[in-house]
């Protein structure tokens, strides 16, 4: 099953191609801003979704609705350096095994068709296409063998990243820096998350192409590890890391990430609000600048 959310709080489930069923009323939802998390918080792992009578749902043509991010996670977890080829391109000595996981601000999440806003005119900002895990149940102290029971499904994600020297939680948390969507595809429909083809384009140029078979920590290990650190909640997401081919995005670019059996997410890029790095508010006001930094590798 594919699950999407509209900007006016309706929960849609796939029926056939471009046609979806509006499951909002059937699930007892009433236009909440985040209907999927509301549903998952009832504590049954989204089981009512599987019990829906799809034929009885009001039909919606997807061309007629605006989709939001499929959900608004309370915690957004990222995995640094989780593909060997990305480790090589970044000249990074460490991997996720030594670096652990990081957090992105939940306010960085945007939906399909949204616009990534570049913060700086003169500091490189990169695309990172990533398979993104969506949890359906609380996850704490799970073994890899237990971890998949907590996974609701998967969506396409972008971990947009400024290549400055600042902490990851700064460089990756700018508003609009975590596009997700367009759907959450349930785990039963995706099958083995370690056998998916991931591609990312900027315009017509293919920049990233990899298999999730090359993840250093696969989905089960990554969920297990993150649950050893954090008490994860239903609807939380884990971006699993990006393969080689990361590169800069610019004003006017269109970025698309496509993952087999999961979907295709497209966003636009704007520099309309970009400022000079040296004029970062607060830092600049103290007479401090960032000109000694480089655009060197900081994965």
Does position 14 interact with Mn ion (CB under 5 A)? The reply is: no
Cβ 256 to Mn ion shortest distance, Å: 17
Output the smallest distance, CB 239 to Mn ion, in A. 6
Question: Of 159, 178, 256, 265, which lies in the binding site for Mn ion, with binding defined by CB under 5 A?
Answer: 159
For 159, 226, 229, 292, the CA distances from 76, given in Å and listed in that order, are: 10, 11, 13, 31
Taking CB under 5 A as the binding criterion, the range among 28-36, 116-124, 235-243, 280-288 that sits at the site for Mn ion is: 235-243
Query: Does position 126 bind Mn ion by CB under 5 A?
Result: no
Are the C-beta atoms of 219 and 195 separated by less than 8 Å? no
Least Å distance, CB 177 to Mn ion, is 10
Q: Is 236 in the site for Mn ion (CB under 5 A)?
A: no
**Which of 213, 176, 154 is CA-nearest to residue 3?**
154
Choosing from 34, 117, 126, 128, the residue that interacts with Mn ion (CB under 5 A) is 128
Dihedral angle sign, alpha carbons of residues 293, 246, 75, 71: positive
Binders in 60-99 for Mn ion, by CB under 5 A: none
Nearer to Mn ion, 149 or 167 (CB): 167
CA distance 130 to 257: 8
* Alpha-carbon gap, residue 135 to 223, rounded angstroms: 9
Question: How far apart are CB 129 and Mn ion at their closest, in Å?
Answer: 9
Q: Which stretch binds Mn ion (CB under 5 A): 89-97, 108-116, 137-145, 159-167?
A: 159-167
Whichever of 117 and 159 has its CB closer to Mn ion, that residue is 159
The alpha carbon dihedral of 81, 108, 211, 226 has a sign of positive
Of 5, 176, 240, 242, the residue at the interface with Mn ion (CB under 5 A) is: 242
Q: Which is nearer to Mn ion, 104 or 280 (CB)?
A: 104
Q: Does 253 bind Mn ion (CB under 5 A)?
A: no
Stretch that binds Mn ion, among 24-32, 105-113, 128-136, 146-154 (CB under 5 A): 128-136
Residues in the chain: 299
Residues that bind Mn ion (CB under 5 A): 128, 159, 242
């Amino acid at each position: 099953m594919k699950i999407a959310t509209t900007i006016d709080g309706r929960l849609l489930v796939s029926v056939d191609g471009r046609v979806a069923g509006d499951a909002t009323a059937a699930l007892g939802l009433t236009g909440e801003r985040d209907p999927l998390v509301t549903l998952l918080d009832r504590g049954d792992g989204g089981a009512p979704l599987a019990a829906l009578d799809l034929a009885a749902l009001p039909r919606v043509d997807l061309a007629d609705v605006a989709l939001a991010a499929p959900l608004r996670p309370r915690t957004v977890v990222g995995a640094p350096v989780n593909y060997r080829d990305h480790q090589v391109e970044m000249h990074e000595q460490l991997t996720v095994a030594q670096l652990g996981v990081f957090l992105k601000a939940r306010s960085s999440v945007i939906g399909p068709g949204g616009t990534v806003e570049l913060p700086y005119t003169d500091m490189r900002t990169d695309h990172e296409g990533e398979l993104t895990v969506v949890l359906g149940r609380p996850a704490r102290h799970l073994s890899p063998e237990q971890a998949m029971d907590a996974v609701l499904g998967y969506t396409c994600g972008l971990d947009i990243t400024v290549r400055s020297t600042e902490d990851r939680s700064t460089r990756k948390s700018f508003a609009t820096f975590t596009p997700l969507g367009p759907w959450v595809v349930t785990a039963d429909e995706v099958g083995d998350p370690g056998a998916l083809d991931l591609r990312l384009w900027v315009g017509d140029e293919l920049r990233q192409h990899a298999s999730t078979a090359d993840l250093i920590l696969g989905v089960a290990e990554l969920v297990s590890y993150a649950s050893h650190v954090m008490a994860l909640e239903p609807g939380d997401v884990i971006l699993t890391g990006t393969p080689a081919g990361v590169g800069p995005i610019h004003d006017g670019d269109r970025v698309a990430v496509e993952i087999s059996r999961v979907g295709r997410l497209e966003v636009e890029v704007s520099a309309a609000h970009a400022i000079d790095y040296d004029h970062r508010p607060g830092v600049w006001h103290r007479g401090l600048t960032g000109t000694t930094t480089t655009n060197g590798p900081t994965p």
